[in-house]
């Protein structure tokens, strides 16, 4: 990733994305777990678009 210079007369402004209460609670739980155990909490991968179906068991009989 490289450095991007602002053109003269233009200001780049990056605003943070506001978090929902659900997201804030989840982040707090992860931080508390780390402080308690010293280990990273495993977060399950999201399923959906872009995920591989390789190595998944078939439910067909």
pLDDT in tens, 12-61: 778 888 999 999 999 999 999 999 999 888 888 877 665 555 555 555 54
pTM for this prediction: 0.46
3-state secondary structure of 26: helix
Residue 55: partners with Cβ closer than 8 Å, 6 or more residues away: none
Nearest to 14 by CA among 25, 22, 4, 1: 4
Distance CA 23, CA 17 (A): 11
**Cα–Cα separations (whole angstroms), residue 50 to 42, 45, 57:** 20, 12, 18
């Amino acid at each position: 990733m490289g450095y991007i210079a602002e053109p003269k007369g233009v200001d780049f402004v990056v605003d943070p994305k506001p978090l929902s209460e659900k997201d804030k609670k989840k982040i707090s739980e992860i931080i508390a777990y780390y402080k308690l155990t010293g280990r990273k909490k495993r977060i399950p991968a999201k399923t959906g678009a872009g995920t591989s179906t390789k190595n998944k068991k078939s439910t067909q009989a």
